[in-house]
Amino acid sequence: MNVPATVALAPAPAGDGAFKTFVEHAADGLVVIDPEGIIRFANPAAIALFAVNAGELVGLHLGVPAIEKPTELILPNAQRTRYVELVATDIFWQGREAHLASLRDITDRKEAADKLHKSEELFRQLTEGVKDYAIISLDPLGRVVTWNEGARQLKGYEKAEILGHSMDCFYLPEDVAAGTPSRLLELAASAGHCEDEGLRVRKDGTSFVANVVLTATRDAAGALVGFAKITRDITERRRHEQRIQDQLQRLQLLDQITRSVGEHLDLQSIFQVIVGTLEESLPVDIAWICLHDEATNALIVTCVSARSQELAGDLAMHEQTQISIDGNGLAGCMQGQLVYEPDLGQMLFPLPERLAAGGLHSLVLAPLRAERRVLGVLAVARRAVNAFSSADCEFLRQLSEHVALAAQQSKLYALLKQAYDDLRRTQEAAMRHERLRALGQMASGIAHDINNALSPVSLYTESMLETETNLSDRARSYLQTIQLAVEDVAHTVGRMREFYRGREPQIELLPVDINLMVQQVLKLTKSRWHDEPLRSGGVTIHMHTDLAPDLPRIMGLESELRDALTNLIFNAVDAMPEGGTLTLRTRLGNAAGDGSVILEVIDTGVGMDDDTRRKCVEPFFTTKGERGTGLGLAMVFGMVQRHGADIEFDSAPGNGTTVRLAFAAPAADLAQVTRLAKMLVVPSGLRLLLVDDDPVLMNALRNALATDLHIIVSTTGGAAGIAEFAAALGRGEPYEAVITDLGMPHMGGREVAAAIKAASPDTPVILLTGWGKRMAAGGDIPKHVDRVLAKPPRLRELRQALAELC
Amino acid sequence: MTGDTPDKKWILRLYIAGITPAAERALTNIKTICALHLKDQYSLQVIDLLESPAFAEGDQIFAVPTLVRQLPKPLRKIIGDLSNTEKVVVGLDIRTGT
């Protein structure tokens, strides 16, 4: 079947050079096929198409074309499969019938179309099956061109009924009226794409929240061909987001509340913060907190939110209202369960009925539970029915735990604070007591030494004045001055001791009419509070008395009371350098009448700060500088203690001072005890033994007593005294009395007294002591002593003691 | 397709490369022609070169679709979608064969 190659590349039919050139250069492949299907001629383009050597194509058995219209052929080819469009024409070729086949290479076009087709197919497959997204394409005017399964499910339209319709039908009428759909198309067209979230409408009229991405599609030339529109139903996502948002908000609220709670320490303000914040921010229409009252087993409304006070009043739910637990079915709540009543109108208990009548329909009661005990209930209500979500309830449950904890902490804090305050007060009292004791001891020690030192001065002075009849008037005057001075010193030393010593048992307390005493003191001190201020500075002090009539008399020492009141008046006057009002008030202790009688000294003066008030009764503490001894209030304090009374100071700087003395009144007003003054008979000629370790004092004493013609033997030291007493007893010349010092080295006055009494029980022993009467107060009267005399001893006292004892 | 059985007088092969529109038309056309002119006297094999590229060598196929008349001899080829029935009939020399 091979055809000689010589026929190939035959000269052009017309021998026309131009035609040959045309054929040679034609872009399409041209071949001439004989009736047997053998190629008789091929141009270069055809050779290229078949990818054979130039000589090989002619003679190839290709086949006879049998087509009516241009037909696509595939030329399988080692390098690249060619697609050609075949057009066949019957011709005469070298004198016989033949076929001219024109082969146009359409490979590139074909491949491009294929690719496009494939990608379109892929796109179709991808989108059509997608159910979760509505993927549609729109023409440039927004009319639906394609419609996938997702679009059908999401929007409810069948493909057939929606194609060609405007996308306006997916929007709410008001959005269409506002031009939203066309605005989105414009935006996508100009920016390439746009995204939008909002409500969209389904075919059945229901709506959903959609996220829409609209993308403009353009052809190769950049002309707008339409839009791709992807729509997602994000209703669920929005719901989740909302839920998360709500949760976050509640967390913030919880945080806010717990922070505020942390800033407050007292329960009431903690509760106020909580109900206030709930009302504002949760929000609720009313919030209140009830605490459980164990005595009545009821809930007491403790705190109502600020804005709701009026509503609470209308509901009879104001603070302090009692709510029955059992009567309202609240037992569950009191066992720690959160109670949610979505519709109070359906409930038959009184409290829900009352709330419902007041327009509140949903109620949540969250127990405040701390350490397994329900302290109370946090309650919130809203007007709407079923207005609390489970998240709200959960939030309230959490909050109630915080509240309960805060309440518990606050209680503990209050208890702790109380304990601290008590401890501080006790400590202060103990410290004051200790300080006073130490100062008292010091004062007593000083007093002791001064008294000892004064003794000879006093005795000699007294003795000389009495015995030396030939003294010049001048000497007598000097001696009298000395005597006065000694008495002053003794008096001062005595006052110094006053605040510390107790009451001597041998001094009898007598009924005192306190009103009478006040009036006496007023008279005695008038110059100090009336005349002096007026004269020195033109200052007026108004004296005001407010004396309760028929006060019971109190048991006391009038002189001490008088001194004390005098001191208080002086202090009050000093506190009012600019003048003011001084009030003396007496009254019964309290309405119930606990039997106490109160004496108040009230001034309108400068007042005291805390520090001054704490220290004012301490000895030597003074605010008066050089003018004050610091002993006035100390003495008053001593008096108060000896009378078993109480003293209180109410004062603040600039607000005056009230000193309040409270005396216990006797059960029955005792009859006034009258004491007869004894006629003093001066004893003389007694045999007296003096025992002391201080020769100066001993000589003074001896000389003083000698004026009364006593036989006096003095011994230095206790042991010598006892020996002398025993010796005298042995000689049959017993002493009729022994006067001994208390404090002596080696053997003190107590031992001396004991030894004397052992030898001769009837011999009186008089003890001299620089400690004065203090030792008696301490229950310190030695057993064998008949009389204690304070130093410096007075001749008068010694005489009286001897007269009474011998 | 009908098997390549020796008792048939006409044995035809249609070479294609994938189910292209032209290939589909060619198949439809040859079936119609054969049914009309050859009845039970032929067998038609369709050879898809995408599946069996080696066949192209044996019958010297340079373009598809190509219909090859294997029998009766001599071997004849027709290219295109075979829509020009007359040319197919002439090309296969069916008239002379009957």
pLDDT, position A9: 42
CB atoms A37 and B60 under 8 Å = no
CB < 8 Å to B52, chain A: none
Residue ending a domain, choose from A43, A75, A105: A105
Q: Are B66 and A71 in contact (CB under 8 A)?
A: no
Q: How does pLDDT run across A126-149, given as a tens digit for each residue? A: 787 778 889 999 999 999 988 988
pLDDT-derived band of residue A778, with 50, 70 and 90 as boundaries?
A: very low
Q: How many CB atoms within 10 Å of residue A506?
A: 9
Q: How many CB atoms within 10 Å of residue A508?
A: 10
Q: How does pLDDT run across A340-383, given as a tens digit for each residue? A: 988 888 888 888 888 888 888 999 999 998 888 888 899 999 99
Residues A693, A796: one domain?
A: yes
Residues A216, A316: one domain?
A: no
Chain A to chain B, count of Cβ pairs less than 8 Å apart? 92
pLDDT, position A586: 93
Q: How does pLDDT run across A169-205, given as a tens digit for each residue? A: 999 999 999 999 999 999 999 999 999 999 999 999 9
User: Which domains are seen in chain B, by residue range?
Assistant: 10-97 (3.40.30.10)
End-to-end Cα, chain B, rounded Å: 23
pLDDT, position A10: 46
Query: In this structure, is residue A74 part of a structural domain?
Result: yes
Q: Would you call B64 an interface residue with chain A, using a CB distance cutoff of 8 Å?
A: yes
- Identify which of A37, A516, A500, A333 has the alpha carbon closest to the alpha carbon of residue B79: A37
pLDDT, position B1: 46
Q: Would you call B17 an interface residue with chain A, using a CB distance cutoff of 8 Å?
A: yes
- Identify which of A49, A46, A68 has the alpha carbon closest to the alpha carbon of residue A107: A49
Separation of alpha carbons A619 and A635, rounded Å = 8
Give A97's strand partners.
A92
- Identify which of A579, A573, A586, A564 has the alpha carbon closest to the alpha carbon of residue A527: A573
Is the pLDDT assigned to residue A55 strictly greater than 60?
yes
Which one is predicted more confidently, A779 or A402? A402
Helix axes A514-524, A558-574, angle to 10 degrees: 50
Query: In this structure, is residue A532 part of a structural domain?
Result: yes
pLDDT, position A781: 64
Q: How does pLDDT run across A95-118, given as a tens digit for each residue? A: 888 999 999 998 888 888 888 888
pLDDT, position A569: 92
The pairing of beta strand A71-75 with beta strand A29-33: unpaired
- Long-range CB pairs of A379-383, under 8 A, 24+ apart, other chains included: A379/A287, A379/A288, A379/A289, A379/A290, A380/A278, A380/A282, A380/A284, A380/A286, A380/A287, A381/A284, A381/A285, A381/A286, A381/A287, A381/A344, A381/A355, A382/A284, A382/A285, A383/A285, A383/A359
Residues A635, A565: one domain?
A: yes
CB atoms A63 and B63 under 8 Å = yes
pLDDT, position A4: 38
CB < 8 Å to A73, chain B: 22, 63-65, 79-80
Q: Are A101 and A33 in contact (CB under 8 A)?
A: yes
Separation of alpha carbons A99 and A34, rounded Å = 6
Buried b (16+ CB within 10 A) or exposed e, A656-685: bbbbebbbbbeeeeeeeeeeeeeeeeebee
CB atoms B63 and A62 under 8 Å = yes
E strands, A430-579, are 510-512, 541-547, 554-556
DSSP, collapsed to helix, strand or coil, labels residue A666 as coil
Q: How does pLDDT run across A9-42, given as a tens digit for each residue? A: 444 454 567 778 888 888 899 999 999 899 999 8
Query: In this structure, is residue A441 part of a structural domain?
Result: no
Mean pLDDT across A441-464: 83
Q: Would you call A65 an interface residue with chain B, using a CB distance cutoff of 8 Å?
A: yes
E strands, A48-119, are 64-65, 71-75, 82-93, 96-105
Q: Would you call B21 an interface residue with chain A, using a CB distance cutoff of 8 Å?
A: yes
**ipTM computed for the complex:** 0.89
Q: How does pLDDT run across A581-620, given as a tens digit for each residue? A: 999 999 887 654 567 899 999 999 999 988 888 888 777 7
Query: In this structure, is residue A280 part of a structural domain?
Result: yes
The two structure tokens encoding residue A343: 């519709």
Domains of chain A: total = 5
pLDDT, position A520: 85
Residues A658, A514: one domain?
A: yes
pLDDT, position A495: 67
Residues A576, A549: one domain?
A: yes
Q: Would you call A676 an interface residue with chain B, using a CB distance cutoff of 8 Å?
A: no
Q: Would you call A63 an interface residue with chain B, using a CB distance cutoff of 8 Å?
A: yes
Q: How does pLDDT run across A153-163, given as a tens digit for each residue? A: 999 999 899 99
Partner B, chain A 1-20, Cβ-Cβ below 8 Å: 1
Q: Would you call B14 an interface residue with chain A, using a CB distance cutoff of 8 Å?
A: no
Is the pLDDT assigned to residue A5 strictly greater than 50?
no
Q: Are A601 and A569 in contact (CB under 8 A)?
A: yes
What residue of A is the nearest CA neighbor of B89? A66
B19 CA: distance to closest CA in chain A (Å):
11
Which one is predicted more confidently, A325 or A439? A325
CB < 8 Å to B50, chain A: none
Assign residue A178 the CATH number of its domain. 3.30.450.20
Residue ending a domain, choose from A105, A123, A155: A105
Query: In this structure, is residue A462 part of a structural domain?
Result: no
- φ and ψ of A685, to 5 deg: 65, 25
Q: How does pLDDT run across A636-670, given as a tens digit for each residue? A: 887 887 788 888 888 889 889 999 998 887 654 44
CB atoms B83 and A84 under 8 Å = no
Residues A655, A779: one domain?
A: no
Which residues span the domain enclosing A181?
Answer: 111-233
Q: How does pLDDT run across A409-447, given as a tens digit for each residue? A: 888 888 898 999 989 888 887 887 777 777 777 777 788
Q: How does pLDDT run across B1-25, given as a tens digit for each residue? A: 444 455 668 899 999 988 888 999 9
Residues A79, A21: one domain?
A: yes
Query: In this structure, is residue A784 part of a structural domain?
Result: yes
A50, A60, A66 member nearest B80 (Cβ): A66
pLDDT, position A774: 52
Separation of alpha carbons A381 and A279, rounded Å = 10
Partner B, chain A 17-36, Cβ-Cβ below 8 Å: 36
Eight-class DSSP state of A671? P
Percent of chain A with pLDDT over 70: 92
Q: How many CB atoms within 10 Å of residue A217?
A: 13
- Identify which of B40, B47, B94 has the alpha carbon closest to the alpha carbon of residue B71: B94
Residues A526, A658: one domain?
A: yes
CB < 8 Å to B20, chain A: 72, 74
Of A87-96, A612-621, A729-738, B79-88, the one with minimum mean pLDDT is: A612-621
B18, B60, B87 member nearest A66 (Cβ): B87
Tell me the pLDDT of chain A averaged across its residues: 83
Separation of alpha carbons A300 and A724, rounded Å = 87
CB < 8 Å to A69, chain B: 83
Is the pLDDT assigned to residue A224 strictly greater than 80?
yes
Residues A532, A593: one domain?
A: yes
pLDDT, position A276: 87
CB atoms B84 and A67 under 8 Å = yes
| Residues 6 or more apart in contact with residue A409 via CB below 8 angstroms | none
pLDDT, position A796: 78
pLDDT, position A501: 56
Partner A, chain B 66-85, Cβ-Cβ below 8 Å: 66-68, 74-85
Separation of alpha carbons A695 and A656, rounded Å = 54
B17, B68, B84 member nearest A66 (Cβ): B84
Q: Are A82 and A75 in contact (CB under 8 A)?
A: yes
Residue A383 Cα to chain centre, angstroms: 33
Assign residue A739 the CATH number of its domain. 3.40.50.2300
CB atoms A66 and B66 under 8 Å = no
Q: What angle do CA A448, A454, A460 make, to 5 degrees?
A: 145
Is the pLDDT assigned to residue A318 strictly greater than 90?
no
CB < 8 Å to B60, chain A: 60-61
Mean pLDDT across A490-499: 69
Partner B, chain A 84-123, Cβ-Cβ below 8 Å: 84, 86, 88
C-alpha distances out from residue A569 to A563, A597, A661, Å: 10, 19, 13
Residues A594, A640: one domain?
A: yes
CB atoms A66 and B76 under 8 Å = no
Which one is predicted more confidently, A363 or A52? A363
Percent of chain A with pLDDT over 90: 20
Assign residue A521 the CATH number of its domain. 3.30.565.10
Residues A138, A189: one domain?
A: yes
Query: In this structure, is residue A680 part of a structural domain?
Result: no
Assign residue A319 the CATH number of its domain. 3.30.450.40
Residue ending a domain, choose from A370, A388, A406: A388
Residues A19, A125: one domain?
A: no
Query: In this structure, is residue A29 part of a structural domain?
Result: yes
Mean pLDDT across A62-77: 89
